[in-house]
Each structure stands twice: as structure tokens, then as C-alpha cells.
A and B are shown apart, each in its own frame.
Chain A
Amino acid sequence: MRVLIIEDDAQLAAYLSKALREVGATVDHAADGRRGLLLAAGNEYDVLVVDRMLPSLDGLAVLRTLRASDNNTPVLILSALGEVDDRVEGLRAGGDDYLVKPFAFSELHARIEALLRRAVPEDQPQTHFKVGDLELDLLSREVSRAGKKIPLQPREFRLLEYLMRHAGQVVTRTMLLEHVWDYHFDPQTNVIDVHISRLRGKIDRDFDQPLVQTVRGAGYVIREP
């Protein structure tokens, strides 16, 4: 995995580079927008991590220039500006995801993984998901495990669908709130955990192998044990 970090905060950039290398990525770093644009245009990266406010060339300008020259490398925007309009502006400029500072590295890592998965082109939109003996079908809206049907509430279905779309990847609680509930907000309590535990009660309780696993300090992952 090749990652380009365009970030002017040297400390944060060093920290991100180190953490990404630890999870097996090859990391380049640009400290300003112009240099970042040159690196991004001249090399093949799997993902770009771009800060919004940069010296010499603004992060969004870098993004627009890349998109205008048909560079479709997935981009994760980092910003201290977390308001809705900033987010919308960032995504409109061609960003694929938006992460507000400060963030836990696990959050960044989970989102980068999700972006990499998204970048794999699909011939046909996937409508059937399978993890171990758990199956989910989008067309019939049915979930079954080991051939036994499991009735789910609509929101539980969407929660499971999101987890299964990212099977084997960590999804954070914020990602679940944003994509399953479609609200950007800070829950004061881990309200998502209760939904996950309900879902587990339906798909994992009666089986030997639990599929939904908690990743400490990060979120959840669904995978075959």
C-alpha cells in the first residue's frame, strides 16, 4: 500500500508516517500543497491523505487539480474544520472521505482501508454477501446463517450490510453513525455498542463461532474467525 501524506504539521506527519509504516504501508510526505501536487501527479499511490489548510496551495485546490487531470486516486481529507458545509465542500471538490482533527489513528486506518476497498472496480454491484456461514441478500432482503433464516429490523439489516460490505476491515463507530444512520454527530455514550450487541444476539448467539468482533479502541469487524 503506497500512501502520500500532504500535511504541513511536521509532528503529525511524522507520527502518521510512522504509524502507517507499522501497518505495512509505504509512505511519502509532502509539507506543502505544490510539492504534494507534484508527487501525486508523478507517482502511483493507492491513497492520498490531504490536509485542507496548506501553505503555497490549498488542499482543496490540489484535489481539484488532480481530479481535473483524471487522477482518481482515493483521497481522504484531513481538517480541523468539521462543520457540515466544510465537509460538503471537501467532498464536492473530489474528496472520497473526510476526517476531522483530532482523530485516533485507528479511525484513519479504518477509513483508508475502506477507501482502498472502494477503489477496486466492481463489474456488477454486489447484491449478495457471505461471511463464513452468514449470508445476506440485498434483493430478497434476507439474512440467514447456516441455512437458517434470521429476521432483522430494517436498521439492523443496514448495519449488518455495512459490516459485511467491509468484511475483514475494521469499521469505527463514527463510520457506522455516518453510513448506517446518516447523521454526523457526537454521541455522549456508545449508543452504537448496544445496536451491535442486539445484532450479535440475533446472528451470533446461537452459534459456536462469533462473527462480529470488537476491535479494542477502534470499532468492529465482521470476519470468519
Chain B
Amino acid sequence: MSPDGTRVVGSATADQVEQSGPARAREILASSTFRLALLYAFLMGGSVLILLGFIYWSTAVYMTRQTDATIEAEIKGLAEQYRSRGLSGLTTLVAERSARSPRGAGVYLLTDDEYRPLVGNIEAWPAAEPDGDGWIDFRLRDAVSADDREEEHAARGKVFRLQGGLRLLVGRDVRDLTAIRGLIREALGWGLAFTVALALAGGWLMSAGIKRRIEAVNQVGREIMEGDLSRRIASDGSGDEFDQLAVNLNRMLARIEALMASVRQVSDNIAHDLRTPLSRLHTKLSQLRDVDLGAEAAAGVDEAIADAEELLAAFNALLRIARVESGSRRAAFADLDPVVLLHDVAELYEPLAADKGQHLEVSPAQSDAGPEALHIHGDRDLLFQALANLLDNAIKYTPPGGHIRVAVTTDNGHVAITVSDSGPGIPPELRGKVLQRFYRIDASRSEPGHGLGLSLVQAVAQLHGAELTLGDAAPGLRVALRLPVAPKDGPRGARAGNGH
């Protein structure tokens, strides 16, 4: 039951309306398969990030260690030279090596205790402070720039203290290292981006694919709910989960169809086995009534006849509902004018209402799309039956002097036939229940009737793809039957209108 207390039966096929782009995107975002795909992309991206991070870290650390080991080895060598050949030996060696790599891989600088350069291939002691182990990371400015443009790049070195406050800086230009590190970072970044993009695209495709297959199942489900129980889900024979689902659902549908057929068989048996003796009973009672009976016996026979008639009516109504629900009556559908139908039924019931002192009014038809829109496709006799049941109820429950209004309106491709009365109405919480078979609000069941009238109306509504709404006429009950307008090129008027 929807929040406004109305109940909707036999929904129209609104899903078939073409969807706009944003609506479609929203639908995909809302689908559980897409959310799964998104989660999958997220986890995949995360693990790739961790893996690539580890590769980057180990590569960078390995290369830094290599550089450091080279520097350590060189310092060790120079320290040995210093020990064996003294300061002059060291100076010669540093000058020699500096000359060999003016601004190449090796960086050398020997300073005094005031950091004044003595020999080396850089001009000044770097401004950066060395750490506890003497390691120092600094920026190296190209002494001679080919195109007179000062360039800076990273370098790393170690400070070695000599006697007398002298300091030796041995370093390496690590710009290649930095460049490689950058390259690795870039490659890792792209890799991560590709992974996420692929995961997202895959998720989208997977979601759309799954959605398409589920939608195929849903479509068949909708068609079956509209009454075509012979529909089956297409099976591609691949044997995958969806195929198995289709096969199982089809088996289930076949079983349901067989059960429903046997229910119909039972109904027919009831028709044959129970209705026939019942009508015989009715006839025999009627014949008995013709015999000259005493007044008391005659009254008893009359009551028995009335009971038999009530039973027969209930049987007929029940079997009728079953037939209507089976959907087989669509074969008798034709184009018809709801205004003529409504006038006919109102005319039939008007004297009954007048006898009870009620006013039965037919409101003039209102159409927002011209009289052409006032055509529906349906079973003339069943729709008449449905409207007759609604009017019958309205007359039954409206007090003398009350008003009953019937109207036909069109809006937005639908024809709404409404029957409103000024009776006690139906409380919102009972509006769904009154459509159930044999349900009667009047618990004492003092009013005549078998509680099948509205069930039949509901079955007729479902057969026509119509909405049956029970609402408040304030005061009273307002029943609306909202039918789709007949397609313009449909078969015209075979049994339309009054048929005369």
C-alpha cells in the first residue's frame, strides 16, 4: 500500500518508456553489480598501489646504497693514500680525480678548517649540514653551463675529517639516480592509473552485461505477471550461472503453469460436479414451490431457494474470477467507447438508486486530448460487469438521500472511470483487504453479497493492464479504474458502444 493510502493494482508498463541518459547512469550506479565492480576496482587499485610502492622503495633504496657504497669505497681508498703518502699525496690524487671528472660523476673538495677550498672540482662547500655519520645531500650547481644557464641537480656525499681541521668531501652526482627514480615514479603512476581505469571500465562492462541478462529475466517476469504464463526465459545453453538460473526458473514456471492448469481443471470440475447438482436442487425446490404447500412450508422453500441462488452466484463469481485471471479472455478484446459503457451501466442502475432515494449522476466526459482519446481496448462485457459491481456496491452502502457520481476523464494517455459515493467509505487500512476474495468489512455479514464483487473488479482491472484505486471521496468511497487509451491504429469498433 502506498503512503497516501491507496492501493495500486496491475501496474502499467511504465518501464517501457525510453530512458534518458542521466536516468540510465543513475540506474547503473544503483545496481548492485556495479557497486561490486567499484569495490573490486578499489581493492585491485589498492593492492597494485602497495605492490608498486614496494618495487619503488626497494629500487630507490638499492640504488642509493650502491651510490653510498661507491662513495665509502672511494673515501676508504683516499684515506689509505692519505695515511701512506700524507696530505700532498692526497691533494695530488684529489686534483687528479677532479680533473678526470670536471663535473661528471665524482665530486671532490678538500677544504681547510675555515671551509676554504684547497683543491677539488666544486667551488664552495655545500650549505647543507651533514648528518651524524657525515652524509650530506646537497644541490650542485653546474660550474660551466653550455648554454649559460645555471642548472642545479642533486648530489650526495660524505665528509671525511683529516688532521688539522681539514675536510674532504667525496660525493656523487645523483641526477641520473633522481631521474631514474622519477621515471620509476611516473611509470608506477601510469600503471596505477591504467589499473584503476581498466578495473572501472571492466566493472562497467560487467555490470552492464549482468544487468542485461538480469533485465531479460525481469522482462519475462513482468510479462508473466501480466498474465502470459507461457513465457519462458531464453537459455543460451552455455551452462553458466545465468543459464542455470534461467533453466531453473523455467522449470519452476513450468511447474507453476502445470499447477495452475490443474487448479483450472479443479475449477471446471467444481463447475461440473457442484454447480450441476446445485442447479438441480434449485429447480426441484422451484418445482416444489409450485405444489400447493402450507404457508409455513412455502416460506421455508422460498428461503431454501434464496440460499441455493446465493450459493450458485458465489460459485459463478468465483469461477468467473478464475477465468478472468487466467488471461484467456484477451481474445475477446475490442475497441470501445467508455462513455457509452458508463451511460449504459448508469442507466441500468439508475432506477435501483432512485428506489433507495439516492441521486445517481453521470458527469460529462472530460478529455484533455479530444474525443479520439476516449477509446479503450477491452472486453465490453467484463468492463460492464466491473462497473456494475462498483455501482452495485455504491448503491448498497450509500444512505438514502446520498449522492453517487460516475465520470470518465482522460489524462496523459489514460482513461479514468470513477465511481464516487457519499456512503461511509472504507478506512485506508482496509482498502487492500476488500479486494481479497470473500473479505467483507461488515463482520456480521448482515448485508447480502458474497464478498467477491471487488475481487472480480480487480481481476478485470489486471486483465486490462489497468490500475484500480480505492480512495477517499470525503465523505464516501471513490473508486477509480485507470485504463490505457487504445492505440490509434487498433482494430475499430467491432463490438464498440451499444452494439445496436
Contact = CB atoms under 8 A, between A and B. Distances in A.
A66 interface: no
Contacts of A187: 388, 392
Contacts of B276: 9, 11-12, 101-102
B352 A189 contact: yes
Nearest to B393: A188
Contacts of B282: 104, 217
Given A80-B271, A106-B286, A181 B388 contact: no
A217 B305 contact: yes
Given A182-B500, A186-B313, A102 B279 contact: yes
B272 A188 contact: no
B286 A188 contact: no
B216 to A, nearest CB: 32
Nearest to B380: A183
B351 A198 contact: yes
Contacts, number: 98
Interface in A155-208: 155, 181-189, 191, 194-195, 197-198
B355 interface: yes
A195 B351 contact: yes
B329 interface: yes
Interface stretch (B22-30, B190-198, B342-350, B465-473): B342-350
A96 B332 CA distance: 20
Nearest to B278: A102
Contacts of B392: 187-189, 191
B331 A85 contact: yes
B381 interface: yes
B453 A188 contact: yes
Given A103-B279, A191-B348, A217-B286, A185 B384 contact: yes
B352 A194 contact: yes
B275 A102 contact: yes
A83 B329 contact: yes
A181 B331 contact: no
A185 B392 CA distance: 13
Contact of B344 (A9, A183, A188, A194): A183
B377 to A, nearest CB: 15
B389 interface: yes
A124 B271 CA distance: 43
A183 B386 CA distance: 12
Interface in B361-401: 379-382, 384-385, 388-389, 392, 395-396
B459 to A, nearest CB: 13
Interface string A81-105: 0011100100000000000011111
Contacts of B279: 101-104
A217 B283 CA distance: 9
B498 interface: yes
A188 B389 contact: yes
Contacts of B389: 188
Nearest to B391: A191
B92 interface: no
A56 to B, nearest CB: 19
B177 interface: no
Interface stretch (B131-139, B253-261, B316-324): B316-324
B329 A181 contact: no
A188 B313 contact: yes
Nearest to B450: A188
Interface string A1-24: 000000001011001000100000
A9 B278 CA distance: 15
Contact of B316 (A183, A186, A189, A195): A186
B449 interface: yes
B323 A83 contact: yes
A183 B317 CA distance: 16
A101 B271 contact: yes
A163 B344 CA distance: 20
A197 B317 CA distance: 27
A12 B277 CA distance: 9
A155 B348 CA distance: 9
A125 to B, nearest CB: 16
Interface in A199-225: 216-218
B323 A104 contact: no
B286 A104 contact: yes
A101 B272 CA distance: 8
Interface string B440-456: 00000000110001000
B11 to A, nearest CB: 25
A191 B352 contact: yes
Given A83-B323, A83-B329, A216 B268 contact: no
B351 to A, nearest CB: 4
A216 B286 CA distance: 8
B316 to A, nearest CB: 6
A22 to B, nearest CB: 8
A19 B381 contact: no
Nearest to A22: B287
Best-buried of A185, A216, A217 by chain B (most CB within 10 Å): A185
A103 B275 CA distance: 9
A102 B271 CA distance: 8
A213 to B, nearest CB: 15
The 7 closest A-B CB pairs, nearest first, are A102-B279, A217-B286, A102-B275, A185-B385, A194-B351, A84-B332, A105-B283
Interface of B: 268, 271-272, 275-276, 278-280, 282-283, 286, 289-290, 305, 312-313, 316-317, 320, 323, 328-329, 331-332, 344, 347-349, 351-352, 355, 379-382, 384-385, 388-389, 392, 395-396, 448-449, 453, 498-500
8 contacts: A84-B332, A88-B332, A183-B381, A187-B392, A188-B453, A191-B349, A197-B351, A218-B286
Interface of A: 9, 11-12, 15, 19, 80, 83-85, 88, 101-106, 155, 181-189, 191, 194-195, 197-198, 216-218
